[in-house]
């Protein structure tokens, strides 16, 4: 690996510490990592949510972390917080499981309807 000196990186981003050897690399960086703010000047960092169904673009890594924590890892039924999406998905099944007849449902509304029709209660 060759070590590059600061002089070898003539194209520096004015908004973050990134630097590039060519103007086209810097332009690509600016277009992918920075978006225009309300003032019309580039400045806010783009961060895209990793959830394919969500795809939300947030203004910074900090707001992305908050988005993931509040939207994707908190149970909408009991508000428990989980370390991963998989952990939350497993947990969600506890809210859609009929303990009287060992049936599992994908949606809470289906479980409620099942309980009313089969067991006479919610």
Q: Each residue of 64-95: pLDDT tens digit?
A: 778 877 777 778 778 787 877 788 888 888 88
Per DSSP, 38 falls in state T
User: Tokens at residue 24, please?
Assistant: 């086209």
d(CA 66, CA 103): 35
Q: What is the pTM of this model?
A: 0.38
Is the torsion defined by CA of 75, 80, 86, 91 positive or negative? negative
Q: Each residue of 15-24: pLDDT tens digit?
A: 677 788 888 8
Residue 77 phi, psi dihedral angles, 5° rounding: -95, -50
Strand partners, 19: 12
């Amino acid at each position: 690996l060759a070590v590059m000196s600061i002089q070898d990186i003539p194209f520096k981003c004015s908004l973050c510490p990134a630097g590039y050897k060519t103007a086209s690399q810097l332009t690509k960086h600016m277009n992918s990592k920075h978006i225009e703010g309300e003032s019309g000047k580039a400045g806010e960092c783009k961060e895209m949510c990793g959830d394919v169904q969500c795809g939300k673009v947030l203004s910074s890594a900090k707001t992305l972390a908050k988005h993931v924590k509040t939207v994707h890892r908190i149970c909408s039924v009991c508000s428990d917080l989980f370390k991963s999406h998989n952990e939350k998905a497993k947990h969600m099944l506890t809210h859609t499981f009929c303990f009287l007849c060992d049936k599992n449902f994908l949606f809470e509304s289906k479980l409620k309807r099942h309980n009313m029709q089969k067991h006479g209660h919610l």
